[in-house]
Structure 1
Amino acid sequence: MSDAADAIRTIAAWPAVDAALSEAREACTRLRWNEGLRRRAPEAAAESRVRGARASAEVDGARSEDSVVRGLLIGATEWPSDPDPTLAVLRGAIQATAEAEHVGRILRSSPRQALARLHTAAAEPLLTGEGHAQLGRPREEGSPCAEFADLGAPPTGLTDRLHGIVSLLETSAAPGTPVLVVAALVHAEIAIVRPFSRGNGLVARAVERALVHAGGVDPTGVSVPEAGHLRRAGSPYLGALAAYAGGTREGVELWVRHVASAVTDGAAEGERIASAVRAGRLDA
C-alpha cells in the first residue's frame, strides 16, 4: 500500500497536476464558506444530488431537466412501470448518486462492499429479468460489455485490475494521500476496465462524488462534480480517458487535470445552488 501511496503523491506533485488540484481545493473552500450554506446546507446538498444525477445521466446520453429529476425524487412524478432506456439510465443515475452519500464512510474501509452497493443502485433499472443476478457482481472475464465502446475492448486481467481499484480505494485512507488524485484514478479505471456488465459510467462518477465529499475535498456535499464532466462530455471526456489508458505520464496527467477541472466547475455549480437556496429560487 505504501508504494501505491507514494505513486499517488508523485502524480499529485507533477507541476500541472499540482496547479489543477490547488485550483479545485480553492474552489471547494470558497463553496464551504458560502453564506447560502450557513443555515440551509442540507437543502443545498439535496439539490446537489438532483443536479449530479441529471448530469451523470446526460454524460451517458440520457437527457433530462433538473425539474424532472426533482419531481421524481420527491414523488411528485411517478416512475412509469415500463420506462424507456433514457428513463432507465436516469433512474440508475438518481439511485447511484443517492447511494454515494451513504457509502462514502465505507468506500475506503470496505471498498468491495461499497462498489457492490453502488453498482446495485446504478444498474438495477438497466439489468432486467435474469440480469438482476449480476447486480453488485463483477462480470466474468471475457464476457461482453458494450459500454465505453469508443475506448475499445476492455483490457484483459479483470480480476487483477479490479483488485487494483480496491487497493487504490484502500490507499486513499492513508494519511496525506491526495484523495482527489485517487478519485480521478478510480474513475478512469472503472471506465476503462468496465468491471460490471452495465452501469460502469454511473458507478465511476458516483465513486468520484463519494470520495470528493467523504474524503474532505468538499465536506459540504454541495459540489456537483458530475456537472463538470458534463461540460466536457463527448470527445473531451472520452479523449482524456483514452489518453489515460495509454499509460504514459502525459496521459495520466491529462486525465487527472481533467477531473480536477471538473471538480472546480462542480464547486462553482455548488455556489450557484447555495445562492439559489438562499434566495429561495431553486426552481428558477
Structure 2
Amino acid sequence: MSTTSSDPLSALEALPGVADAVNSVRKAVDRVYGHRVMRRRSNEVTAEAALRGARGSAALSGADWNLEEVRRRTDFRGDGETATMGAALRLTAEAGQLLSIWRQSPLRVLARLHLVAAGGSTPEGAVGRPRLAGEQVDEPLIEATVPGLQEMAGRLDGLSRLVMAGSSAPALVTAAIVHGELLALRPFVSHNGLVARTAERIVLVGSGLDPKSICPAEVGHAEQGRAAYVAAFEGYLSGRPEGMAAWIAHCGRSVELGVRESTAVCEALQRGAA
C-alpha cells in the first residue's frame, strides 16, 4: 500500500463499507462487554475465548480439532496437527505478555511469537528470525507467491514503522492490515498464519477495543471457512480499494462472530450460576 499520507491507515476507513464494518464491530463489542456476567466472571470468559480462538486459528492452519478434544488434551508434543494445535495454544497464552512491547518494537514481538510457535518443530537456526535466501516457506492454506527477500524486508520494516508511529485509524482497520500484511509477506519459514492471527489479536486487545481479550477473531475466521478466508485475503493481495475493503470487512465479521461465541459463553455461565 503506497501513499504520501503521514497516516496511511487512516485513509482506509473511507473505503466503501469499512466505516459500516467498524461501527458494527464496535456495537457488538460494547454489547458483550455490557453483559452482566462480565462484571463478575470476566476471567472465565477470557480463558474460554483464548481456548476457542486458538482452536480456530489452528483449524485454518490444518488442525481442525473438536473443541472438547482441545480442552481434554494436556500433551501437545508431536508432529503435524498436534504440533500446530500446541503452537496455537502457546501463542494465545503469549500474546497477553507482549502487549506493552508491541508499539515500541513490533519486530521483536513477531520474532518472539515465531519462537513460541515454532520451537521444537522448526530447525533451531531458523526460529525467531526472518527467512533467508534459499529457505522455503511452509504455510498451509496460503498458496500465493512468496515475496522475495528484499521486498519482504522492506515491507516488514514499513509495517513496523506504521505500528510504532501509531494511527488514528480504527483498531479493526489496523488489525486487518497487520494480519493481511504478515500473511502476504510470510516472513518466517513456518507458522506465519498463526503468527499473523496472533498479531491481529494483539492489535485488537492493545488498542483498547477488546481489552479483556474476549472477542476472538480467530473463531470468526474459522467459522467463515478456509475458502472465504483465502478469497478475502486475495482481495488484500490485489491492493485494489474494493479488495482491501472486502478484507477489512471479512476481519470485522470475524470479530463479530467471536463476540457471538463469547456471548454464548456468558449465557452458559449465567445459566450455570442461576
Cα 1:140–1:238 change in 2 (3 A) is same
Cα 1:4–1:278 change in 2 (3 A) is farther
The TM-score, its normalising length taken from structure 2, stands at 0.91
Which residue in 2 is equivalent to 1:41? Answer: 42
Q: Counterparts of 1:278 and 1:212 in 2: how far apart (Å)? A: 26
Q: Counterparts of 2:136 and 2:187 in 1: how far apart (Å)? A: 11
Which residue in 2 is equivalent to 1:8? Answer: 9
Number of aligned residue pairs? 269
Which residue in 1 is equivalent to 2:30? Answer: 29
Q: Which moved more, 1:86-95 or 1:114-123?
A: 114-123
Question: SS of 1:177's equivalent?
Answer: coil
Shift of 1:39: 0.7
Which residue in 1 is equivalent to 2:193? Answer: 201
**Cα offsets for 1:116-174 (capped at 9, x unmatched):** 111111222431xxx12222111114532131565322122121021122123223x34
Which residue in 1 is equivalent to 2:53? Answer: 52
Which residue in 2 is equivalent to 1:180? Answer: 172
Q: Which moved more, 1:195-204 or 1:136-145?
A: 136-145
User: Which residue, 158, 161, 164 being the options, matches 2:158?
Assistant: 164
**Cα offsets for 1:52-88 (capped at 9, x unmatched):** 111110111102122232334xxxx3345xx230100
Question: SS of 1:52's equivalent?
Answer: helix
Q: Counterparts of 2:202 and 2:142 in 1: how far apart (Å)? A: 26
User: Which residue, 254, 263, 267 being the options, matches 1:275?
Assistant: 267
Q: Counterparts of 2:114 and 2:272 in 1: how far apart (Å)? A: 34
User: Which residue, 80, 94, 110 being the options, matches 1:99?
Assistant: 94
Cα 1:19–1:210 change in 2 (3 A) is same
Question: Given residue 163 of structure 1, which amino acid in structure 2 is its aligned partner?
Answer: D
Which residue in 2 is equivalent to 1:88? Answer: 83
Indicate the percent of aligned positions where both proteins have the same amino acid.
Answer: 34
Cα 1:5–1:46 change in 2 (3 A) is farther
Q: Counterparts of 1:4 and 1:89 in 2: how far apart (Å)? A: 39
Shift of 1:259: 0.6
Question: SS of 1:95's equivalent?
Answer: helix
Listed as ranges, the gaps of 5+ residues in structure 1 are none
Q: Counterparts of 2:106 and 2:170 in 1: how far apart (Å)? A: 17
Shift of 1:94: 0.4
Shift of 1:253: 0.9
Shift of 1:15: 3.6
Which residue in 2 is equivalent to 1:69? Answer: 70
Q: Counterparts of 2:59 and 2:199 in 1: how far apart (Å)? A: 17
